[in-house]
Amino acid sequence: MRFTFGSALGRSQRSQAIIDDVAREHLEEWQLLFDGSYGKTGNDYPADVNFSGWGSSYSGGPIPQEQMVEWVEETAARVRSAVVPKARVLELGCGTGLLLFRLAPDAVSYVATDFSPVVLDQLGKSLAGQPWADRVRLLQREASDFTSFGDGAFDVVVLNSVVQYFPDRSYLEHVLEQAVRVLAPGGVVVVGDVRHRGLLSAFHASVQAYQGAGTVGELARRIRRRVGEEPELVIDPAFFTDLADRWDRVDHVRVLPKRGRFANEMVKFRYEAFLHVESETEPLPIPAWTDWADGSLTLDGLAGRLAGGPGEPFGVTGVPNARVEADVRLRDLALSGEAPAETQVTGTGLLVERPVPTGGGEGAVDPEALCRLAEESGHQAQLSWAAGDGSGRFDVAFLPPGAGVGPGTAISFPSGSGGGTNEPLRSRGEMF
């Protein structure tokens, strides 16, 4: 069936029903895909390291288990740091139970939903014999189904590596609105593994170059085509920060780059958003902010400042991101037309005639390096992608030891604008 897009203002009830049907087909196709994946490999691994279905966009093979374990452990650590002990947890789209097995032992109750009956059957068998299994309830339903969940019934709602499979922005907003509704005051919605819309073209540039794009002209065509046909929901960080202005119960939002030592697609191009509900805390003031470019800052310079003693909190904006710098420069070079279209691109993404750095260029910093640098001196580094744009730059606040703040402390970071998403349903055809 073929559809074309029209103005939302002129849609009739009939055309809205068509849109809803296409969205339903979108979700059903993802469900069939996951059912098939779980059915083939779901019983081959212990539940806490069952990474069935996780594959590299570059090679098509599995992402190394060491990297996946770090990814899920870092995610679980961030969730734990943001919620009260013995929380009532609702996880939407629990999958094979990667987070469930790490969070449920400390929860007072844990409700986990998923739309795949195959994965829930396997997960139920894995739970048998666990000393905390009686705290867990498994429900087969879509993420948008909040039937029987009362207002304030939970302390934390988790959606990890789920929202990219939503059909559109309106579906996402509905789910988040309901998630906020079922939270008690002081609760938090954790949206993990979100794909960064501003870096979507850089991601596709890196994948296409790795797979062998031939010339710069061909690379540019592939980038544009892949971005236009993107089947997953990809979200600007500002989408989440805007919610604090639009929804009364959301008092502050944190948007964080992923932590991790491995420069894979899960760490480079994705982030986590924390929506704090009625926390009744004032944002921590940062007395001094320095722009990275204006301050001529370096990693060594920051290390010296942190080693000098506790001091006052201070922040740095616009830190160039070494994780994605080469991918961003490759994308910009390909799409700008600056390089001749016939210039060859190697499998590593380097232009033969116009080399692009493979690591951090001059002054670029890996976000993980900043976190570890702060930890070594007893400080805490809070990173933010709230102002995230297509360059991958990030902001950081350094909090001294003894400041009496936790990882969930609100800080007034700069935020971006234009909080939109792509339109995955376009990949199904044009809708009218």
Report, as an integer, the average pLDDT of 6-19.
36
Give the whole-number percent of the chain exceeding pLDDT 70: 82
Q: Residue 200 — very low, low, confident or very high, per pLDDT cuts 50/70/90? A: very high
Q: How far apart are CA 9 and CA 119, in angstroms?
A: 40
**Which pLDDT does position 430 carry in this prediction?**
42
In this model, does residue 403 exceed pLDDT 90? no
- Give the per-residue pLDDT at 113: 96
pLDDT at 28 over 70: no
Copy the structure tokens of residue 54.
Answer: 């996780």
For range 391-419, the mean pLDDT: 80
**Model pLDDT, residue 353:** 37
Output the pLDDT for position 338: 83
> What CA–CA distance (Å, rounded) separates 265 from 58?
9
How far apart, in whole angstroms, are the C-alpha atoms of residue 373 and residue 368? Answer: 8
Q: Find the mean pLDDT for residues 184-191.
A: 95
Predicted confidence at residue 3, as pLDDT, reads: 23
Band of residue 348 on the pLDDT scale cut at 50, 70, 90? low
pLDDT for residue 103? 95
Answer whether residue 9 shows pLDDT above 60: no
Instruction: For 65, list phi and psi in degrees, rounded to 5.
Output: -60, -35
User: Tokens standing for 142?
Assistant: 């879509």
**pLDDT band at 39, cuts 50/70/90?**
low
At residue 335, the pLDDT reads 94
Compute the average pLDDT of residues 223-249.
94
* Residue 271 · residue 196 · CB < 8 Å: yes
Q: Are 275 and 237 in contact (CB under 8 A)?
A: no
- Round to whole Å and give the CA distance between 33 and 159: 19
The tokens describing 240, both together, are 């989440």
CA-based nearest residue to 95, from 72, 66, 67: 72
Is beta strand 136-140 parallel, antiparallel or unpaired with respect to 380-384? unpaired
6 or 366, higher pLDDT: 366
Domain ranges of the chain: 13-283+418-428, 288-399
| Beta bridge partner(s), residue 381 | 398
Strand partners, 277: 250
pLDDT at residue 427, rounded to an integer: 61
Contact 412, 289 (CB under 8 A): no
Q: Dump pLDDT digits (tens) for 325-341.
A: 999 999 999 999 888 88
Burial class of residue 215 (count of CB atoms within 10 Å of its CB; 0-12, 13-18, 19+): middle
The model's confidence at residue 363, banded by pLDDT at 50, 70 and 90, is confident
pLDDT at 426 over 80: no
Whether 350 and 219 have beta carbons less than 8 Å apart is answered as: no
Within a 10 A sphere around the Cβ of 384, how many other Cβ atoms?
A: 25
pLDDT at 40: 56
The residue with greater pLDDT, 92 or 39, is 92
Secondary structure tally for the chain: helices H, strands E: 13, 13
Q: Is the pLDDT of residue 431 over 60?
A: no
Tokens of 50: 């069952």
Nearest alpha-carbon partner for 236 in 196, 190, 199: 196
Q: How many CB atoms lie within 10 A of CB 50?
A: 24
φ, ψ of residue 385 in degrees (nearest 5): -110, 20
Both tokens assigned to 188? 């938090």
Determine the Cα–Cα distance for residues 100 and 91; give it in Å rounded to an integer: 8
Question: Of 36-40, 243-247, 270-274, 285-289, where does the model show the most confidence?
Answer: 270-274
Residue pair 86/77 in contact (Cβ under 8 Å)? The answer is: no
Q: pLDDT class for 132, splitting at 50, 70, 90?
A: very high
- For residue 219, give the 3-state DSSP assignment: helix
Task: Note the pLDDT tens digit of each residue in 279-314.
Answer: 877 778 888 899 998 877 888 888 888 887 777 889
Tell whether pTM > 0.75: yes
CA–CA gap between residue 26 and residue 23 (Å, rounded) = 5
13-283+418-428: CATH topology is: Rossmann fold (3.40.50)
pLDDT confidence of residue 97: 93
- Of 210, 345, 336, 346, nearest to 265 (Cα)? 210
Comparing 431 with 324, the larger pLDDT belongs to 324
Instruction: Pick 357 or 87 by higher pLDDT.
Output: 87
User: Which of 36-50, 233-247, 264-278, 351-365 bottoms out in mean pLDDT, i.e. has the lowest?
Assistant: 351-365
If we measure between CA atoms, which residue out of 225, 99, 110, 92 comes closest to residue 171? 92
pLDDT of 351 higher than 50: no
What pLDDT score was predicted for residue 305?
87
Q: How does the average pLDDT of the chain come out, rounded?
A: 83
Residue 78 confidence (pLDDT) above 60: yes
Return d(Cα 368, Cα 372) in angstroms, integer.
6
pLDDT level of residue 17 (50, 70, 90 thresholds): very low
